């Protein structure tokens, strides 16, 4: 009986052996680098002008292309072209012996080392000794030191002199994810490039090209989910896509958004919108039931809160008029526009703060789902209350103090059931109305800055010949709408208006003071007592008495 089993397994040495997508689609030219245009432009100009630094430092988060850039830089500096006569170029040919050898990781003059496993001073001494020799076959000998921040203090010190004055034809390329741990003495000896996080839309486009090259269909929404989960890292995103394709093979061949959500444990965006709607309607029971449904499907409570935070943020951006995310579902776009029209900035900011507080609590909680439920209940009840400013106006106006849904709180000024109040017809009447409602700060701004051109019914035109405070018109309109139960049309014009109340008061004071000083009795008193003065307080007191008796 044979002791072996013929399982007919594929040979791992086959040329068609599987390679993970992150390795298979590693950039082979600078043109294939995603989202690093500024760095490529700078390197291209330096190479064309022959202004090559002796040491480069590449920093950025994981998976943005630091090691790939280091290898591309080695190819660019050592490329000799297809005919063997070329020089350094930002567009290496990819077919000459140096390019092929570097791409395959076997070139004798391009030495890669991982500082995480070579942290000591002895390791650096070996590098220093080897760097004294020129390149064997290439134009430049290049040392690529990855995760350089892991080197010990003594190792850094040993490297300093060589890094500053390397041998002719030797270049160093350092890469790190934690540049703050690299000594300033090393940073000052390197030309630094900060590789940026790759935008989600560019990642999604890249993943679409990879999926097509792999012969796999993928829903745009699925690729968008993967791009967002990658958090700016191409390598992380390709690893997730690899997993999604493997999952899709079991499910029928296409990478679907639903499968990606299940795979990553993400909350369904539709479910998040439904939960958001329940919270806005102050439906605590419905909100908790929706949360439990997500939890039963395996969604992390923190993921639910992150989804709600993203929704509030997206709603705020829509309210500001920002461009909406590309590839966004129609249902999501309509929901965001609806909430942006209904909710005020104050309510959106309150929702954000409550959700952020809840997220922090759940992250530390011993019972995450229970903490998440309590956070949502707090949001349902606390967010339905008016903000302090609206509360003060409601108290001053005698409005009923009762809780209302978030949307009603946002629209409280236009939905208060009180009867319409008499409309002020002068700026003095507006100030009196504001002061009576406790809006002393706003009344003071009107007194000092409002130069009225005209006021008819609920239409007020202010002069902006002199700059007005940025929020004066908006604040005044909101306050008058609440206090008079009428929507006011407040506009500005460059035409000159009447003096502000403060200017009118000052002019009246100066006129009254001049009349007093010109009276025969006061003139006789000053003549009898040279150097005497009439106190300003006395003049103001006399003016007030005159106003009250008028």
Topology of domain 269-382 in CATH is: Zinc Finger, Delta Prime; domain 3 (1.20.272)
What pLDDT is attached to residue 9? 38
Q: Hey, which CATH number is domain 21-194, 2.60.120.260, 3.40.50.300, 3.30.300.30, 1.20.210.10?
A: 3.40.50.300
- Is residue 21 within 8 A of residue 159, CB to CB? The reply is no
- Is residue 202 within 8 A of residue 33, CB to CB? The reply is no
What pLDDT is attached to residue 342? 87
Torsion of CA 24, 30, 175, 104, to 10 degrees: 40
**pLDDT one-digit tens code per residue, 285-307:** 999 999 998 888 788 899 899 99
What pLDDT is attached to residue 525? 65
Mean pLDDT, rounded, for 507-532: 71
In this prediction, what percent of the chain has a pLDDT beyond 90?
29
Confidence of residue 511 (pLDDT cuts 50, 70, 90): confident
Q: Does the pLDDT value for residue 419 go beyond 50?
A: no
**pLDDT one-digit tens code per residue, 49-75:** 888 889 999 999 888 889 999 999 999
Q: Does the pLDDT value for residue 22 go beyond 60?
A: yes
DSSP letters of 222-289?
Answer: HHHHHHHHHTT-HHHHHHHHHHHHHHHHHHTS-B-HHHHHHHHTPPPHHHHHHHHHHHHTT-HHHHHH
**pLDDT one-digit tens code per residue, 303-343:** 899 999 999 999 999 988 877 665 566 677 888 988 988 88
Q: What is the chain's mean pLDDT, rounded? A: 82
Does the model's pTM come out above 0.85? Answer: no
The yes/no answer on whether domain 200-264 falls in CATH 1.10.8.60 is yes
**pLDDT one-digit tens code per residue, 430-484:** 988 888 888 888 888 888 888 999 998 888 999 888 888 877 888 888 888 888 8
What pLDDT is attached to residue 92? 93
Can you give the residue ranges of every domain in the chain? 21-194, 200-264, 269-382, 427-493, 502-549
What pLDDT is attached to residue 391? 45
DSSP letters of 58-91?
Answer: EE-STTSSHHHHHHHHHHHHH---TTS-----SS
């Amino acid at each position: 009986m044979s002791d072996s089993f013929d399982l007919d397994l594929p040979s791992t040495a086959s040329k068609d052996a599987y390679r993970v997508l992150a390795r298979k689609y590693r950039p082979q030219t600078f043109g294939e680098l995603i989202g690093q245009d500024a760095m490529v432009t700078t390197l291209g100009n330096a190479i064309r002008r022959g202004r090559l630094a002796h040491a480069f430092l590449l920093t950025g988060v994981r998976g943005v292309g630091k090691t790939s850039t280091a290898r591309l830089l080695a190819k660019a500096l050592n490329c000799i072209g297809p005919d063997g006569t070329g020089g350094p170029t930002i567009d290496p040919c990819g077919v000459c012996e140096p390019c092929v050898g570097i791409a395959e990781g076997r070139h004798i003059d391009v030495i890669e080392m991982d500082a995480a496993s070579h942290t000591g001073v002895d390791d650096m001494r070996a590098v220093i000794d080897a760097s004294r020799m020129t390149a064997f076959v290439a134009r430049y000998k290049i040392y690529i030191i990855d995760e350089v921040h892991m080197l010990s203090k003594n190792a850094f010190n040993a490297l300093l002199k060589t890094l500053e004055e390397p041998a002719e034809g030797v270049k160093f390329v350092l890469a790190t994810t934690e540049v703050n741990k690299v000594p300033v003495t090393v940073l000052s000896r390197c030309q630094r490039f900060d590789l940026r996080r790759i935008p989600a839309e560019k990642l999604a486009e890249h993943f679409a090209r990879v999926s097509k090259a792999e012969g796999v269909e993928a829903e745009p929404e699925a690729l968008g989910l993967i791009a967002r989960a990658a958090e700016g890292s191409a390598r992380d995103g390709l690893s997730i896509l690899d997993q999604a394709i493997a999952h899709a093979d079991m499910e029928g061949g296409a990478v679907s958004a639903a499968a990606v959500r299940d795979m990553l444990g993400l909350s369904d965006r539709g479910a998040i919108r439904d939960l958001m709607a329940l919270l806005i309607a102050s439906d605590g029971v419905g909100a908790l039931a929706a949360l439990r449904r997500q939890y039963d499907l395996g969604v992390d409570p923190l993921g639910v809160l992150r989804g709600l935070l993203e929704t509030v943020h997206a709603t705020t951006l829509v309210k500001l008029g920002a461009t909406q995310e590309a590839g966004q579902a129609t249902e999501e776009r309509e929901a965001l526009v609806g909430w942006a029209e209904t909710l005020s900035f104050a309510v959106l900011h309150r929702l954000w703060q409550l959700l952020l507080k809840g997220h922090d609590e759940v992250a530390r909680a011993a019972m995450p789902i229970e903490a998440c439920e309590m956070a949502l209940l707090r949001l349902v009840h606390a967010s339905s209350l008016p903000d302090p400013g609206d509360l003060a106006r409601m108290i001053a106006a005698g409005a009923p103090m009762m809780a209302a849904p978030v949307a009603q709180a946002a629209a409280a000024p236009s939905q208060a059931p009180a009867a319409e109040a008499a409309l002020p017809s002068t700026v003095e009447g507006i100030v009196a109305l504001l002061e009576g409602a406790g809006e002393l700060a706003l009344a003071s701004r009107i007194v000092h800055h409002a130069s009225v051109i005209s006021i008819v019914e609920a239409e007020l035109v202010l002069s902006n010949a002199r700059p007005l405070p940025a929020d004066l018109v908006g604040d005044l309109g909101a306050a008058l709408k609440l206090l008079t139960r009428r929507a006011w049309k407040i506009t500005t014009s460059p035409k000159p208006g009447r003096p502000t109340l403060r200017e009118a008061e000052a002019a009246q004071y100066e006129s009254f003071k001049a009349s007093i000083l010109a009276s025969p009795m006061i003139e006789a008193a000053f003549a009898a007592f040279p150097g005497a003065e009439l106190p300003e307080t006395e003049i103001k007191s006399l003016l007030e008495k005159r106003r009250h008796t008028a």
